[in-house]
Chain A
Amino acid sequence: MLEDNNSAELVIRRAYVLDPATGLDGTMDVRLSSGRVAEIGQELRGPRELHADGLHLFPGFVDVHAHWRTPGREDEETIESGSAAAAAGGFTGVVMMPNTDPIVDRPVVVSGLVRRVERESRVRALVSAALHVGLAGERLTEMRLLREAGAFCVSDDGLGTASAGVLRNAMLYARSAGLPVILHCEDHTLATGVVHDGVAASLAGLPGSPASAEDAATATALILAAETGAKVHITHVSTALSAALVGFFEDRADVTADTTPHHLTLTEDLVATLDGLYRVNPPLRPDADRLGVERALREGVLDIVATDHAPHSAEEKELPIEESAPGFLGHETAFAALYTELVLDGRLSLARLVEAMSCAPGRWVGTGGSLAVGVPADLALVDLSEEWTVGKGTLVSRSSNSPYLGRTLAGRVVGTIVGGEPVHDRTGARFGLRA
């Protein structure tokens, strides 16, 4: 659906183009032709023009961690709704996690998803298959057959891998299969609570999971990555120590890592609300961890921001925190939350944010993340001046479990283009073409 479109040429005029991958930084015109970036310059004209005065143009964001709940929980999200939410957040590429029902651990499930993505997704969506059968941490999946069926990577997301021995074999086998591995680092012998094991949990009387649950598993994963040579991505890093461990292994292993918008902007004090909405895994951490993760992102130790977009039905979230399902929506608020909390506050440059949301994840998946002439035209148009209040009515996702509900954020995606085709046009009027 997205490839090989021969739509007429389009010139985006006078946008402020910011692309750390190519170094573009200034007001200019961008010509799209045959689905690709054809020319970048001044005073470009064409039969179809999009007047983007006052808007920023970035390479489309790429989210290496999303749960679209398909197959199995289409009441929470579908490929259609998840990809619409992604497009609304400026994402042009997404990696779908395998902890669905059934779990994506067989080639036939992968090929089915790939076919559905072609028909139903507005953005480029890649399938992550499971690292082990049933995500049970015992038997390796048929990674080579999964790859032939269309899997892009393998992951243990949602559960992690209890046995270091199994994880090591899985990394070795994934390397032979030529698949990157996304790892959810969590030691379940330590992670026995529902929130971060800190002061807020103690005061609230909630069972806590210590930071060591993540740190010990992250250390194990990194050591094994260095030893096996596997291409490993550590997802949702949420503690200062885990971020530092990633930094230590940067040059010792083929490793990348992401953290999430919520771990960069929210802290464990939300536990005091006892609201089931704020349960997430890994849990929201103390501000010292948030600062450590923020610094690691700023310095490039953490390469990527990924949302861990995790839709849940109201029945699963409107519960006491101990009984609610962990997870937040992410696609639609990611850029605005980080722009508001970090960029406007002077803690992170806009260029570094775009690098972490577009360029680095684009490089990791092999598509997008750049506006170089000749690449597929995947881009996001953003109005940095627009303030908006996150509400259930503003969300495109089938679910509404956003931790930013009620918050007013600055910066809004007004248009998203994938392969030259508009896939999100928030206002219609603003994005309207003038012949």
Chain B
Amino acid sequence: METRSFLTLEDVGREDIREILDLARAFAEGRVRDALENKTVCLAFFEASTRTAVTFELAARRSGAHVISLSEKGSAISKGESLIDTIVTLDRLGADAIVLRHQAAGAAALASSHTSAPVINAGDGCGQHPTQALLDLYALSDALGGFEGLQGRRVAIVGDVLHSRVARSVIPGFLQAGMEVALVAPMTLLPPDADALGLPILSSVDEALEWGADVLYMLRLQRERMTGALIPSVAEYATFYGVSRRHLETGALVMHPGPVNRGVEISGDVVLDASSLIPDQVAAGVCVRSAVLALSTGAAQRVAA
């Protein structure tokens, strides 16, 4: 059985994505059951997480896997055990897959070089969050009439691109799906030489809608970034980079990886509006992560390389 790590979305091609989403749909519709029977899935969360940890655990258990959870509290991680030692331990205990959340970019790649088990990156620092991008593509495909429906659609990624692992995964994901991608952020929240990405850089949600955005993908602004060093104030940020009800008149869909800062990225009356896919994104997490676990452990048919 061939196994495969999911460290980044950069090396996941269009056909891979399509297969993952198809398999996820099979899980969602109950066409695949107990795919992970007798597999041991280890969740190693070096950094706090709510929805990612919960959905991975549900995804593993519903497919019949044994689950070992290590969180940053109440495990050897809290005693200062190094990443490599933790990974080696899990490897020797017979893990069939290691789901890793870590505060440092590159942690998943480092971990994968110390175990023969596939490593699934559940978010590493400002690096990557590939399963987030996959579940976003799943939820968006549902809303736009299937994966092929994404072709040619425009998505504006709004906010703190610089510090966002979500952005680093959804950008290649949306591009693989054939979407046009624009970034909407002040230069303080963009990578240096963002121009080199070859994506349009816009300066407000209004501009994104003028550009023709079908989807507004809002990034979370970390609290510590609201204090004035990178952006002057929540008021100015919300004015130019927040989505409010008036922005919905064009029919644009709103996405957010969560947790939302209401009144910052998204005004409170938009979060659960009909144009918001935020609940669908959460819901897609379980079936997409089941599919990723099944593919990575070799429990499901190998995804075409």
Interface residues of A (CB under 8 A from B): 133, 138-145, 165-166, 169, 172-173, 175-177, 228
Contacts and interface: CB of A to CB of B under 8 A. Distances in A.
Given A175-B187, A176-B188, A176-B203, A142 B229 contact: no
A172 to B, nearest CB: 4
Contacts of B186: 172-173, 176-177
B77 interface: no
B227 interface: yes
B241 to A, nearest CB: 10
Interface string B233-262: 101100110000000000000000000000
B232 interface: yes
B193 to A, nearest CB: 10
Contacts of B227: 139
A166 B229 CA distance: 7
Nearest to A133: B228
23 contacts: A133-B228, A133-B232, A139-B227, A139-B232, A140-B229, A140-B230, A140-B231, A140-B232, A141-B232, A142-B233, A142-B235, A142-B236, A143-B232, A143-B236, A144-B239, A165-B229, A169-B188, A172-B186, A172-B187, A173-B186, A173-B232, A176-B187, A228-B187
Contacts of B240: 144
A218 to B, nearest CB: 23
Nearest to B185: A176
Nearest to B201: A176
B235 A139 contact: no
Q: Is the interface of B mostly helix, strand, loop or mixed?
A: loop
Interface in B196-240: 203, 227-233, 235-236, 239-240
Given A172-B187, A173-B186, A176-B203, A138 B236 contact: no
A390 to B, nearest CB: 43
A1 to B, nearest CB: 31
Contacts of B233: 142
Contact of B232 (A142, A175, A228): A142
A226 B272 CA distance: 44
A145 B187 contact: no
Given A138-B228, A172-B187, A228-B187, 7 more contacts: A138-B229, A139-B232, A140-B188, A140-B231, A142-B233, A144-B240, A173-B188
A173 B228 contact: no
Nearest to A148: B239
Contacts of B230: 140, 169, 173
Given A145-B236, A172-B186, A228-B187, A139 B229 contact: yes
Contact of A145 (B188, B203, B239): B239
A173 B233 CA distance: 12
Nearest to A228: B187
A413 to B, nearest CB: 41
A140 B239 contact: no
A133 B227 CA distance: 12
A235 to B, nearest CB: 23
Nearest to A169: B188
A176 B236 CA distance: 13
Nearest to B229: A169
A284 B233 CA distance: 39
Given A144-B240, A228-B187, A173 B231 contact: yes
Nearest to B240: A144
A141 B239 CA distance: 14
A173 B231 CA distance: 8
A144 B240 CA distance: 9
Nearest to A165: B229
Contacts of B188: 140, 169, 172-173, 176
Contacts of A169: 188, 229-230
Nearest to B236: A142
Contacts of A165: 229
Contacts of A143: 232, 236
A139 B187 contact: no
Which 7 A-B pairs rank lowest in CB-CB distance, beginning with the nearest? A139-B228, A172-B187, A176-B186, A142-B236, A140-B232, A142-B232, A176-B187
Contacts of B236: 142-145
B147 to A, nearest CB: 34
Which among B188, B233, B240 has the highest number of chain A CB atoms within 10 Å? B188
Which among B186, B187, B232 has the highest number of chain A CB atoms within 10 Å? B232
A165 B230 CA distance: 10
Contacts of B229: 138-140, 165-166, 169
A153 to B, nearest CB: 16
